[in-house]
């Protein structure tokens, strides 16, 4: 019986880990479809190698930093209880590795390859686990302090802030330090549009992410008896809200519509375990609007060349979701309660500050030392030829 | 020999080819080109930013013919490729000094 | 223990829901690959927005119409028993939303966008749940009446008729009312063939559907202790039968071969829980034939421009499967029994009649009011440019 | 309670089967992306029809040959215990059908279609189940003999040798008998490179395989209470090792990098249940190197035209993994023990011999009788036009 | 009438088109071509094997103009398409005997 | 100067280019075209319906040469591009009035 219990938990978390692993393919294809054809191969290689480097960083450093657990004992110890601790690591790794995958979309089409791998290493080994450990493992007593002071801990069920917010705000620094793509903004202030090289690939990315997200959110319960159908339906409703929001505010643009569900899902992570489905629907709708509005602002008004709009998508929708948990999670909005808007705001702001500093420091140092940007000629030829010596497609 | 270069609307290709075969033209070379002219392109939008697509897809036909059937050839193209709308295209005629059939080495009219 | 039980059920149904959600990406790509390049974006946007509208329609109206359950209570009530009722809704929603996804493939390349969203709303809110409730929730006492009169209820385990049949026959009306694509059938009776813009995308669609279908069928058990390996293997055998049928009758055409597994899977839904695997294999083989034969008839002989052949695929194979359950489900064919051919026939016919009426009424009213078809110029330019102002791929 | 137990096992194995079924789409797209555009359709059709034929061969012959279990009893017998035996068949079928899918990548771009289907039939009905039954079902007392003589049985948890090794070495014979593609190696010794038609499709294949592999490996436990998180993390670490190995040794080539994870995963199958994660990481790193090194040797030095490099990938990395289980599985390397290097070597060599003989016999007979190779003209036009009468993409 | 055939670098197309419009040229036909010349291609690698890409993407412009604006046209192209680097391209000029506008049947200068 | 326009089979391009370089030709412009002639296309089938693909993929070479090496150039192309099968293609020769190298402004023979 006990074995069924522990086996079921391992199975449960394994499926979650596998689903979030698949989301990394989703990140890759969202980028493949959005960038110009000459940068497609680079998008693919970046995501898969970033995942590998993140695994090394998290296995050897990050995970023990966050959770005080390491793997340097014999396999027979690790294998106890069906190896539950191991799949838990796998599951949480797929979250950690999402950070470089998020950043990747912002710095696309002009970033050097190896410096980005190095950045990924430090971010996943140190910066992300610092915030993760504080929020999810109670490190440094911050959560206790918040609970004591405000009555409630900072609530981020599946990582609106811990994962997406941190990723999006780290990307912000990287994008600023990199500068915009050549030719994107002309001297006389005009904006050149780079339409997506392939809407179908972009859509494959979007669907893969959206489907995998149900693992990301629901399996965050981390044991099968704690699973909550509420998380599932709230994810669904926020996703749908995001689609509809992007359809309406994004004027039927496929680029917006396929990011809409992601905006909704980013936003619902934090409060999916405590909101009412109607609250989740509204959270998603607003997230759809936030993404569309701020994407246009950054790209076309403020001329910040965040290629996939990851700051708007993960950074801003992540913050919005963190706050939304403090609104629609409240009992007066038919939520389960146990959250405080003020604490959510504190959590979001701390995350922003940490990620901004982290991003500017890591990418700043790399910029000063190895450089983070392709040469003009390399950028013009495309990252595929200049880094990988091959084109995305061939008709030979 | 004369060369007829016709820029036409893509969906007219099939019909033009068939009609040309009827008057005894046995070969032609076709390419996908983009045309710019009085006919305007269209505006696309991506994530809130508009951009103009100025060039429209056209088909370029190249047909080398004996001078004596040049006029028949022109008549056919004009008749079939015409829709009456802007952008129907143009025909350019120039002179070809020599034609060789690679397979046989035959030259000029024999090579057509 | 009870928590393990209820948690396992939630997990089980969640995985089913997620798998069927992924099938919607499959519908999208089957259409993307089959239509001409100028209509690829529209295929993608239609499916994802139809899914969103369907969720709204089913959440607020359809589900309570079919099952008498609604969501307008506090989250703490919804969250009881690990929120099982919520994942059940999610699972059944993914079925309901398949109806517009099916129709989408029939009306591709010429239908207006917003009228289709409206049609989806009414179909998922009213027409589908009417039949669904009668068959799967015993509404209006129809099943009781059949049982009383013929000894057996109408048997449709996973929706050969309830989902696919209804979807396919609804599409029939829509396709007729729309008319054929410009240039498809010339005045002198010739048929112009539009080869698929991308066989690889079509194949991605097909695989995604086939794989997800094991969630569709097996998880229709709706609780883990009721799961049946028989359903799994019967789905497998019917899928394989469909592939082989399409290979043989379809003369090695990739368009047929990648629809073959779907034909088999449509047909096996109804009786997958009661057939012998050999019965399922034959059911699939015949479904492969039915699809190939009737696709050619409709497209090339009767000149009905059902672009993806959804009437043949879902409508006819659905009906065939409903009847096949009444044959190969019988004990004399080594099935588990408990079905009657006559009752299956009655069920199939009622579904056809309902869907035909429903389709002609909904699309008829829309045709009279807003119009359901793109202008000639828009159709010629393609739905991508004319509706979404963008092309599927770009080389800028 | 018992039903929850048996239902959970059925669910567990079903998910594994579905994940490995999805891997077949992965095989298809790895090939689609790697071959030239004129052979893409054929890659897709080959994989899906090979799967169908394999199912028939394994259902009627292979499975009872290996496990002594057949399906020719009434459905009510099959449905007992939630039909556990049926999903087990489904799961193991997806392994068996991987054999033709592996071979397919080696013989691409020039093999005839129907002879390959026939080869698949005999391989899945007879050759594969022979080795499978010996290793996994103790047939013919070989495992007992090894245990008796050397103290340990041959250990191949998830099929490094049983599946991948056998597949890769069968492919070797087929590739040699077929000969190289026209124009690949010129008379004066030069090698013509055929770059991949589509790196994105190749990457879709790679991701689909990698994600599905967690089903392949972890669900090989075959019951939920036996599931092991160790298998999951070892698969992860080997995958990551393979990516990094291919990145380093493969000079950032996307073709290598997307095969790297597969190399690592092939190699870790055998010992994933007994290695320490660090052992798995090293196993993967070396597998990455093995693949890159031997791919270059075969294609460019030895002029053996194994198009996707399936001999290097499955054949050699499979053998390496089988041996690695006999190294990193040992207690001195922090493994769980219970293996012997000598026995692993014996197992690997026997597999190689069997597969070499099997491959040369099956393809040799077919070559003598029906012929296995397209005509020069057909090969030149491409398999898509000459076999399937259609091109992969169309702009009509 | 004269035909100007200009082989230019792809990223210059937009600027050239705009400048030509300014001097009153109202139409042109453009195709994607591959060029070979002094400018070298690049080497790609696939799985350990190198292969040369000898041809570089270029744009071919075809513009039929009245003889009297030929020189303006040439000046504009040379000025705008020039980067000073190898591979900027060439302009070829030849003679066109006749032009017809398909839509109206107008001929020669009227058809431009 | 003369322009040689050769329509050849795609798999002959590499060999033709190399042979032309050997006789001192330093540049050419190539496009993918579709050809129609005596050589027949093929029939494709989609879901039970046949459709003819009339046009075959060909390569169009455009080479502007000094008049005096014209014949060498023709000889090389004929020799190398010939397979002896229908569809080997044609060579068309016409006259070019002027050539300009955009990078330097050099004209005519200097620009080649
Ligand atoms: N001066 C020109 N030189 C070369 N091609 C031209 C020229 N003018 C027009 N064309 C080609 O002819 C096509 C149709 O011309 P357009 O002016 O749009 O319509 P119309 O021919 O009906 O007046 C253009 O898209 C372009 O390809
Ligand atoms: N003899 C020629 N005939 C036709 N096209 C040519 C010829 N020489 C050069 N070209 C075209 O001009 C382009 C640029 O030529 P190239 O020699 O590389 O540089 P540049 O013109 O700056 O000297 C080539 O890529 C090719 O398309
Ligand atoms: N009259 C023509 N004008 C332009 N191109 C032609 C003409 N005739 C043939 N061609 C081109 O030459 C190619 C080969 O011609 P075809 O008649 O098939 O064979 P062959 O040249 O061996 O007799 C055609 O595919 C077409 O591209």
D105-122 residue pLDDT tens: 999 999 999 999 999 999
- Secondary structure (3-state) at A373: strand
- A273: which DSSP letter? T
Grade residue A167 by pLDDT with cuts at 50, 70 and 90. Answer: very high
Cα distance between residue C10 and residue C88, in whole Å:
8
Is residue C396 over pLDDT 80?
no
Grade residue E109 by pLDDT with cuts at 50, 70 and 90. Answer: confident
Average pLDDT of span F98-105: 94
Q: Report if residue C117 sits inside a domain.
A: yes
- Compute the CA torsion angle E47, E49, E50, E54 (nearest 10 deg): -90
How many other C-beta atoms lie within 10 A of the C-beta of residue D10? 30
Matching residue, tokens 């701390």:
A350
What pLDDT was estimated at residue A233? 98
Residue B59 neighbours by CB under 8 Å, 6+ apart? B7, B8, B9, B10, B12, B13, B30, B31, B32, B33
What pLDDT was estimated at residue D188? 80
| ipTM for the whole predicted complex goes beyond 0.90 | yes
Tell me if E45 and A391 make a contact (CB, 8 A cut-off): no
Cα distance between residue C97 and residue C47, in whole Å:
9
- A111: which DSSP letter? B
Ligand 1 pocket member B86 (CB < 6 A): yes
What pLDDT was estimated at residue E5? 96
CB distance A306 to A353 below 8 Å: no
What pLDDT was estimated at residue C186? 84
Output the CA–CA distances (angstroms, integers) from residue C91 to C222, C289, D104, in the order listed. 9, 30, 37
What pLDDT was estimated at residue D32? 98
Q: Which residues constitute the domain of residue C313? A: 2-185+198-384
CB distance D156 to D320 below 8 Å: no
Is residue A39 over pLDDT 90?
yes
Cα distance between residue C343 and residue C151, in whole Å:
9
CATH number at residue D346: 1.10.3430.10
Average pLDDT of span F58-63: 96
Residue C108 neighbours by CB under 8 Å, 6+ apart? C31, C34, C35, C39, C42, C43, C307, C308
Residue nearest to atom 20 of ligand 1 (CA): B87
Q: Report if residue D393 sits inside a domain.
A: no
Tell me if F44 and D389 make a contact (CB, 8 A cut-off): yes
Is residue C187 over pLDDT 90?
no
Q: Report if residue C393 sits inside a domain.
A: no
Is residue A396 over pLDDT 80?
no
CB distance D325 to D271 below 8 Å: yes
Ligand 3 pocket member B24 (CB < 6 A): no
Q: Where do the H-state alpha helices sit in chain C?
A: 2-34, 40-57, 63-67, 75-78, 84-96, 98-106, 113-122, 128-136, 142-150, 166-178, 199-218, 229-249, 254-257, 260-268, 277-296, 310, 317-328, 341-369, 376-381, 383-388
Q: How many domains does chain D have?
A: 1
Is residue D151 over pLDDT 90?
yes
Query: Is residue E87 left, alpha or beta, with left meaning phi > 0 and alpha meaning psi from -120 to 50?
Result: left
Q: How far is the CA of B8 from the centre of ligand 1 (A)?
A: 9
Tell me if D198 and A75 make a contact (CB, 8 A cut-off): no
Tell me if C295 and F46 make a contact (CB, 8 A cut-off): no
Q: Which two tokens stand for residue E12?
A: 């210059």
Closest CA to E73 of E11, E14, E109, E28: E28
Output the CA–CA distances (angstroms, integers) from residue C39 to C113, C308, F38, in the order listed. 12, 13, 35
Q: Give the gap in angstroms from C-alpha B74 to the nearest C-alpha of chain A.
A: 36
Is residue F42 over pLDDT 90?
no
- Secondary structure (3-state) at C81: helix
CB distance C379 to C182 below 8 Å: yes
Cα distance between residue C57 and residue C79, in whole Å:
22
Mean pLDDT of chain D: 96
Is the CB of residue A292 less than 8 Å away from at least one CB of chain B? yes
What pLDDT was estimated at residue D190? 86
CB distance C34 to C64 below 8 Å: no
Phi, psi of B59 (to 5 degrees): -115, 135
Ligand 3 pocket member F72 (CB < 6 A): no
Cα distance between residue D374 and residue D372, in whole Å:
7
Closest CA to A310 of A302, A321, A299, A324: A299
Average pLDDT of span D321-341: 97
Q: pTM (2 decimals)? A: 0.96
Cα distance between residue D137 and residue D112, in whole Å:
35
Q: Give the gap in angstroms from C-alpha F54 to the nearest C-alpha of chain C.
A: 14
Q: What is the pLDDT of residues A321-339, one digit of tens each?
A: 999 999 999 999 999 999 9
Cα distance between residue C222 and residue A90, in whole Å:
28
Q: What is the pLDDT of residues A238-250, one digit of tens each?
A: 999 999 999 999 9
Element (H, E) at A212: helix A199-218
Is residue D284 over pLDDT 90?
yes
Q: Which two tokens stand for residue C198?
A: 């991308």
Ligand nearest to the CA of E105: 1
Is residue D9 over pLDDT 80?
yes
Residue nearest to atom 9 of ligand 2 (CA): F27
Tell me if C204 and D25 make a contact (CB, 8 A cut-off): yes
Cα distance between residue B34 and residue B42, in whole Å:
13
Cα distance between residue D171 and residue D101, in whole Å:
10
What pLDDT was estimated at residue C189? 79
Phi, psi of C329 (to 5 degrees): -80, -15
What pLDDT was estimated at residue C358? 98
Ligand 1 pocket member B38 (CB < 6 A): yes
Closest CA to A245 of A232, A264, A226: A264
What pLDDT was estimated at residue D10? 96
Q: What is the pLDDT of residues F76-87, one digit of tens each?
A: 999 999 999 999
Q: What is the pLDDT of residues A259-297, one digit of tens each?
A: 999 999 999 999 999 999 999 999 999 999 999 999 999
Residue F102 CA: which ligand 2 atom is closest? 21
Q: Report if residue C72 sits inside a domain.
A: yes
**F55, F86, F95 ranked by CB distance to B30: nearest:** F55
Which of F27, F59, F100 has most ligand 2 atoms within 8 Å of CB, for mutation? F27
Report the length, in residues, of chain F.
Answer: 112
Share of chain C above pLDDT 90, in %: 95
Cα distance between residue C129 and residue C116, in whole Å:
18
What pLDDT was estimated at residue E111? 84
Cα distance between residue B111 and residue F91, in whole Å:
9
How many other C-beta atoms lie within 10 A of the C-beta of residue E85? 9
Residue D130 neighbours by CB under 8 Å, 6+ apart? D65, D66, D354
Q: What is the pLDDT of residues C1-53, one digit of tens each?
A: 788 999 999 999 999 999 999 999 999 999 999 999 999 999 999 999 999 99
- C302: which DSSP letter? S
Helix axes A317-328, A277-296, angle to 10 degrees: 150
- A83: which DSSP letter? G
Grade residue A252 by pLDDT with cuts at 50, 70 and 90. Answer: very high
Q: Where do the H-state alpha helices sit in E27-97?
A: 70-81
Q: Report if residue C396 sits inside a domain.
A: no
Contacts of D1 in chain C (CB under 8 A): 1
**To 5 degrees, how large is the angle CA D326–CA D327–CA D332?**
120
- Secondary structure (3-state) at C301: helix
What pLDDT was estimated at residue D288? 98
Is the CB of residue C346 less than 8 Å away from at least one CB of chain B? no
Phi, psi of D38 (to 5 degrees): -75, 0
CB distance A135 to A156 below 8 Å: yes
Which chain D residue has its CA at the smallest distance from E45's CA?
D253
Ligand 1 pocket member E28 (CB < 6 A): yes
- Three-state secondary structure readout of chain D: CHHHHHHHHHHHHHHHHHHHHHHHHHHHHHHHHHCCHHHHHHHHHHHHHHHHHHHHHHHHHHHHHHHCCCCCCCHHHHCHHHHHHHHHHHHHHHHHCHHHHHHHHHCCCCECCHHHHHHHHHHHHHHHHHHHHHHHCCHHHHHHHHHHHHCCCCCCCCCHHHHHHHHHHHHHHHHHHHCCCCCCECCCCCECCCCCCEHHHHHHHHHHHHHHHHHHHHHHHCCHHHCCHHHHHHHHHHHHHHHHHHHHHCCCCHHHHCCHHHHHHHHHCCCCCCCCHHHHHHHHHHHHHHHHHHHHHHHHHCCCCCCCCHHHHHHHHHHHHHHHHHHHCCHHHCCCCCCCHHHHHHHHHHHHHHHHHHHHHHHHHHHHHCCCECCHHHHHHCHHHHHHCCCCECCC
Residue nearest to atom 25 of ligand 1 (CA): B35
- Secondary structure (3-state) at E88: coil
Longest distance between any two alpha carbons in chain E, whole Å: 59
Mean pLDDT of chain C: 96
Q: What is the pLDDT of residues D355-395, one digit of tens each?
A: 999 999 999 999 999 999 999 999 999 999 999 999 999 98
Residues of chain B scoring pLDDT < 70: none
Is residue F111 over pLDDT 90?
no
- A180: which DSSP letter? P
Q: Report if residue A191 sits inside a domain.
A: no
Q: What is the pLDDT of residues F26-35, one digit of tens each?
A: 899 999 999 9
Q: How far is the CA of B96 from the centre of ligand 3 (A)?
A: 15
Q: How far is the CA of E59 from the centre of ligand 1 (A)?
A: 17
Q: What is the pLDDT of residues C190-244, one digit of tens each?
A: 888 899 999 999 999 999 999 999 999 999 999 999 999 999 999 999 999 999 9
Q: Report if residue D216 sits inside a domain.
A: yes
**Positive or negative CA dihedral for E31, E32, E33, E38?**
positive
Q: Report if residue D193 sits inside a domain.
A: no
What pLDDT was estimated at residue C144? 98
Cα distance between residue C105 and residue C121, in whole Å:
17
Tell me if F48 and C292 make a contact (CB, 8 A cut-off): yes
């Amino acid at each position: 019986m006990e074995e069924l219990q522990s086996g079921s938990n391992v199975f449960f978390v394994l499926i979650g880990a596998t689903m979030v692993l698949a989301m990394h393919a989703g990140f890759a294809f969202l980028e493949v479809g959005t960038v110009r054809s000459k940068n497609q191969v680079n998008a693919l290689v970046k995501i898969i190698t970033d995942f590998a480097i993140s695994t090394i960083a998290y296995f050897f450093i990050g995970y023990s930093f966050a959770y005080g657990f390491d793997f340097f004992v014999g396999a027979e110890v690790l294998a106890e209880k069906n190896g539950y601790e191991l799949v838990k690591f796998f599951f949480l790794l797929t979250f950690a590795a999402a950070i470089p995958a998020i950043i990747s979309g912002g710095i696309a089409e002009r970033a050097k390859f190896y410096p980005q791998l190095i950045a990924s290493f430090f971010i996943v080994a140190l910066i992300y686990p610092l915030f993760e450990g504080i929020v999810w493992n109670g490190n440094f007593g911050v959560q206790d302090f918040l609970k004591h002071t405000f009555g409630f801990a900072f609530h981020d069920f599946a990582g609106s802030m811990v994962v997406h917010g941190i990723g999006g705000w780290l990307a912000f620094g990287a994008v600023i330090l990199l500068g915009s793509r050549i030719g994107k903004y002309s001297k006389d202030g005009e904006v050149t549009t780079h339409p997506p090289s392939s809407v179908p690939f972009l859509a494959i990315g979007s669907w893969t992410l959206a489907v995998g997200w149900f693992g990301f959110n629901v399996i965050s319960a981390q044991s099968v008896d704690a699973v909550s159908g509420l998380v599932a339906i709230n994810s669904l409703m926020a996703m749908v809200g995001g689609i509809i929001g992007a359809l309406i505010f994004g004027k039927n643009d496929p680029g917006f519509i396929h990011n809409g569900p992601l905006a909704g899902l980013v936003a619902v992570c934090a409060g999916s375990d405590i909101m009412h489905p109607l609250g989740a629907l509204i959270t998603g709708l607003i997230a759809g609007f936030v993404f569309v509005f701020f994407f246009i602002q950054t790209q076309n008004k403020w001329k910040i060349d965040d290629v996939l709009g990851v700051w708007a998508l993960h950074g801003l929708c992540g913050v919005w979701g963190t706050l939304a948990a403090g609104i629609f999670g409240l009992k007066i909005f038919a939520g389960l309660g146990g959250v405080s808007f003020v604490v959510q705001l504190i959590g979001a702001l701390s995350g922003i500050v940490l990620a901004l500093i982290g991003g500017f420091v890591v990418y700043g140092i790399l910029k000063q030392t190895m450089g983070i940007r392709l040469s003009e000629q390399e950028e013009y030829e495309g990252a595929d030829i200049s880094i990988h010596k091959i084109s995305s497609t061939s008709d030979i | 020999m004369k060369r007829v270069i016709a820029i036409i609307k893509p969906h007219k290709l099939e019909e033009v080819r068939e009609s040309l075969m009827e008057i005894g033209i046995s070969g032609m070379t076709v390419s996908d080109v983009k045309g710019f002219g009085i006919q305007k392109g269209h505006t696309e939008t991506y994530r809130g930013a508009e951009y103009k697509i100025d060039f429209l897809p056209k088909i370029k036909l190249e047909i080398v013919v004996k001078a004596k059937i040049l006029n028949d050839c022109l008549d056919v193209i004009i008749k079939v490729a015409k829709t009456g709308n802007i952008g129907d295209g143009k025909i350019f005629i120039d002179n070809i000094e020599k034609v060789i059939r690679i397979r046989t080495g035959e030259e000029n009219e024999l090579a057509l």
